[in-house]
């Protein structure tokens, strides 16, 4: 496995590969990332994992500075998972000048996560487009844990006609159901126990909908009140159509329930897809 930090070295290394797949990450890898690698590895000659904590997608009061940077253990993890190339650029390599040209995603960037993290998806789309230009993969994979991010990037690739197949991977969960996330590492022991309540509330909503309940506003409110009564600060619990996260109507059969809530200082997000027959 090669660990490469510059674009020129990367281009040289990839020039003789028949096909390239990219797993973009911000590092601090866990089993969810390894799942992404396992899914695309059989489909490519060369698998590249990028590790870059992208300042552009963090708000001024967010956790950019304390986001865990664990390159050495990440590389060990990636070696074991069969990664071929780690691209771990520094900030100067990705943003040698002030980034004045940015990608402004569709309306999708302003709802749900976008409403609470203004500019977040512009930052994500901009760095992912740059990574695509640097790595030039034929396939890139994103986890459904960041459901809205996956949709924004799929749209970006379609609307800008990028010759890249975007693949999604299911969320990987701990035994108790908590979605794996680098931010789980911020939780104290007691918060970690409490953290499964977000998943449990989403599961309760999913089961209610599968049992025929269509009062989405009431279901969203019940879950929000429940979490907040336990000390969470909930940004949203939302039942949406999978298609562009439109407001769901009783006619929609492909739904997703998404939630974002703060437990102590840690903001957690999760979602569950719901397929009605
Ligand atoms: O999902 C992430 O880890 C990041 O948002 C991504 C896609 C690597 C862009 O910085």
Q: How confident is the model at residue 223, as a pLDDT? A: 98
Out of 30, 33, 110, 218, pick the active-site residue. 33
Q: What is the mean pLDDT of each run of 10 residues along the chain (277 residues)?
A: 98 98 98 96 98 98 96 97 98 98 96 98 98 98 98 98 98 98 97 98 98 97 98 98 95 97 98 96
128 CA → ligand 1 middle, Å: 8
In the sheet with 254-263, reading across from the earlier edge strand, the strands are 233-241, 254-263, 266-275
215 CA → ligand 1 middle, Å: 34
Atom number, ligand 1, closest to the C-alpha of residue 124: 9
Q: How confident is the model at residue 277, as a pLDDT? A: 86
Q: How confident is the model at residue 250, as a pLDDT? A: 85
Q: How confident is the model at residue 101, as a pLDDT? A: 98
Q: Which CATH code for domain 2-169?
A: 3.40.50.620
Atom number, ligand 1, closest to the C-alpha of residue 146: 1
pTM for this prediction: 0.97
Give the fold, CATH level 3, of 182-271.
3.30.1300
Asked if 51 and 127 touch (Cβ cutoff 8 Å), the reply is: no
Q: How confident is the model at residue 148, as a pLDDT? A: 98
Q: Catalytic residue at 120?
A: no
User: For the chain, how are helix, strand and coil distributed in percent, rounded to 5?
Assistant: 45, 20, 35
Give the position of tokens 């909503």: 205
- Rounded to an integer, what distance in angstroms lies between the CA atom of residue 95 and that of residue 151? 25
Torsion sign across C-alpha atoms 201, 204, 210, 216: negative
Q: How many CB atoms lie within 10 A of CB 131?
A: 21
Q: From atom 3 of ligand 1, which residue's Cα is the shortest distance away? A: 25
With a Cβ cut-off of 6 Å, ligand 1 is lined by 24-26, 54, 57, 124, 127-128, 146, 149
What DSSP letter does each residue of the chain carry, written as one string? -EEE-SHHHHHHHHTT-S-EEEEEE-S---HHHHHHHHHHGGG-SEEEEEE---GGGS-TTSSTTTS---HHHHHHHHHHHT-SEEE---HHHH-SS---S-----GGGGSTHHHHSTTHHHHHHHHHHHHHHHH--SEEEEEGGGHHHHHHHHHHHHHTT-S-EEEEEPPPB-TTSPBP-GGGGG--HHHHHHTHHHHHHHHHHHHHHHTT---HHHHHHHHHHHHHHTT-EEEEEEEEETTTTPBP-TT--EEEEEEEEEETTEEEEEEEEEE--
15 CA → ligand 1 middle, Å: 25
Q: How confident is the model at residue 156, as a pLDDT? A: 98
Task: Kindly list the domain boundaries of the chain, sorted by start residue.
Answer: 2-169, 182-271
Rounded to 5 degrees, φ, ψ at 159 are -75, -30
């Amino acid at each position: 496995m090669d660990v490469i930090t510059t674009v020129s070295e990367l281009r040289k290394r990839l020039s003789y590969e028949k096909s390239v797949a990219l797993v973009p990450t911000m590092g601090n890898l866990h089993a969810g990332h390894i799942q992404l690698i396992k899914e695309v590895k059989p489909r490519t000659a060369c698998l590249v994992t990028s590790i870059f904590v992208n300042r552009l997608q963090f708000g001024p009061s967010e956790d950019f500075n304390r986001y865990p940077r664990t390159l050495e253990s990440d590389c060990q993890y990636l070696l074991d998972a069969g990664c071929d190339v780690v691209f771990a650029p520094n900030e100067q390599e990705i943003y040698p000048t002030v980034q004045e040209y940015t990608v402004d995603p569709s309306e999708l960037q302003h709802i749900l996560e976008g409403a609470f993290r203004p500019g977040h998806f512009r930052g994500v789309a901009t760095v992912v487009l740059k990574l695509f230009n640097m790595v030039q993969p034929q396939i890139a994979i994103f986890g459904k844990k960041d459901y809205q991010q996956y949709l924004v990037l799929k749209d970006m690739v379609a609307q800008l006609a990028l010759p890249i197949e975007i693949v999604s991977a299911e969320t990987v969960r701990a035994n108790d159901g908590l979605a794996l996330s680098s931010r789980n590492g911020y939780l104290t022991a007691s918060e970690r126990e409490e953290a499964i309540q977000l998943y449990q509330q989403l599961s309760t909503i999913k089961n209610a909908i599968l049992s025929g309940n269509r009062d989405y506003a009431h279901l969203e409110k019940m879950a929000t009140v429940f979490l907040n009564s336990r000390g969470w600060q909930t940004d949203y619990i939302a039942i949406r159509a999978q298609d562009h996260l439109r407001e769901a109507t009783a006619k929609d059969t492909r739904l997703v329930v998404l939630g974002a809530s703060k437990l102590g200082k840690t903001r957690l997000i999760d979602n569950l897809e719901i397929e009605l027959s």
